[in-house]
Amino acid sequence: MGVPGMRSQRVLVAAVAALIALAGCSDDGQSSTTSVDKGSTSTAGSTVDSSTTVVETSSPAESTTPAAARAWDDPVKTGAATGEPLKIGFSNLEGGAISLPEVRYGAEAAVKLINEKRNGVGGRPIELVPCAVDASPESSVDCANKFVEAGVQAVELGVDPSADAMLPILSDAGIPVFGHAAFGPQQRQDPNVVLFGVSAPAAGLGPLQYFAEQGAKSVVYFLADTPSSRDFTDSVLDPSAKSLGLKFKVIYYSATAADWSVLAATAMSENPDVIGSPSASEVDCLSMIPAVQTAGHKGPIFAAACSLFSTILGPAAVGVLTYSDLWSPTDPNTPADRQAEVAMYKDAMKAIDQSQFAEKDSFALGWFADTMNFARILTEDGGGDLSGSAILKTLKSTKNFEGFLGPVISCDGSAWKGETACGNQLLLFKTTESGVRNAVTDKFIVVSPQG
């Protein structure tokens, strides 16, 4: 993800994935008719009702966003913001042996665009207050205290594996938290948190729907052996697979000592059409994919939201399926009506001299999108009262909002009961020979709990 050099990429992937796993982190061709053929080349869940099902798909051309919603290339207001700064804290893993500055670059690019061309938020420029963490709870707590002292109105979470540790401090100070995905279990349920990405349960179920639609009869998932994973399997995955007519099995593995050769052989004993994981870390994907191939599997391999394997595994990466809740700026199949957003993202990254992160899959996009969503939601609400409590109320009342390069999201709790995530839609991608991930679904898969 934008880290120069193969060796440094491998080191970074392993280190970050290990840290995120310890922190309890749950992210060719346009045709949607790719068949499941054996001859072809985070999820820790909340307990939900067993009637949970994948219910529909929605095409970008038939968005459920209200007709009055503005396109992203049509700002509510233009011009530079000149009012009192709106301070936003930003915690992120960087500065040490493990560093992901591209996450911050994505947010900074959005802030520059918002402040200079979109009149900020209610005329007020956003001032990002960055704070580096090292994955320890102590560093996250230090950042929380820094944000309180700086008088920020909200905090945006970058990659912060121990962000759960800062939540009580921020909540007590009346400072709301927003981001893309949870890096700890408390972020998934804390009422002071709003996450613009897809919920963990939806990320596990959406691909099952796709596999069933493409003709698969049997699927094997790998999940880390945790109580929440087992509960998610029993309460969500098993009944949903049954409703889809799939023969389904979960194989659990140790998150710290997985033997992928043994795991792959065990999976192959089931003779499945599809093998994969909805929540594997980047380092797990680097081991899982070649192990499954070596074991003799010729059908589709599902590698969660992993992406670094596409540049590291070479030919072994070709055909591997992944998911994302955002259209890719590098995918030629991204719909024509979203190309203005692609250009906006690339231009904004160029404006801060970080174009290299916009020309490949990188962490930058997610946080660019989150920052744009945050500012747009507040601006469309009028941008008046921007106190912490007012910001949280506005975010949590958001409904049927088409996210930047993403699906329609609702942050009012309707996307998935009990989850702070605003999204329940995702796309599936297939890795090409050039290492680019191209969408194989030309529409978002929508997953909803019933009952």
Contact residues for 65 (Cβ-Cβ < 8 A; gap 6+): 400, 401, 402, 408
pLDDT at 5 over 50: no
Work out the pLDDT band at 14, boundaries 50, 70, 90. Answer: very low
**Distance (Å, whole) CA 403 – CA 407:** 6
**Distance (Å, whole) CA 358 – CA 407:** 20
Among residues 281, 364, 328, 325, the alpha carbon closest in space to that of 42 is found at 281
**Distance (Å, whole) CA 244 – CA 238:** 10
Which tops the pLDDT comparison, 180 or 1? Answer: 180
Task: Report the pLDDT averaged over residues 139-151.
Answer: 98
- Cα–Cα distances (Å) from 428 to 9, 23, 303, 333, 386, in that order, read 24, 26, 10, 12, 37
pLDDT at 451 over 50: no
Partners of residue 249 on adjacent β-strands = 220
DSSP assignment string, 179-219 = ESS-SSGGGGT-TTEEEEEE-HHHHHHHHHHHHHHTT--EE
pLDDT score for 27: 38
**Distance (Å, whole) CA 132 – CA 100:** 10
Token output for 291: 């192990």
- Its pTM surpasses 0.85: no
Work out the pLDDT band at 295, boundaries 50, 70, 90. Answer: very high
pLDDT in tens, 217-241: 999 999 989 887 888 788 778 988 9
Query: Which domains does the chain show, CATH number per domain?
Result: 33-62+200-330+427-448 (3.40.50.2300), 86-197+335-415 (3.40.50.2300)
Considering only CA atoms, give the Rg of the chain: 21
Task: Report the pLDDT averaged over residues 286-302.
Answer: 97
Q: How many residues does the chain have?
A: 451
Do 200 and 188 form a contact (C-beta atoms < 8 A)?
Answer: yes
pLDDT score for 41: 37
Counting residues of the chain whose pLDDT is more than 70, the rounded percentage is 84
- Cα–Cα distances (Å) from 273 to 241, 248, 303, 306, 417, in that order, read 14, 10, 15, 20, 31
Quote the longest CA-to-CA distance of the chain.
Answer: 65
Do 148 and 173 form a contact (C-beta atoms < 8 A)?
Answer: yes
pLDDT at 136 over 80: yes
pLDDT score for 69: 55
pLDDT in tens, 326-383: 999 989 889 999 999 999 999 999 999 999 999 877 789 999 999 999 999 999 988 7
Task: Report the pLDDT averaged over residues 52-58.
Answer: 45
Task: Report the pLDDT averaged over residues 121-139.
Answer: 95
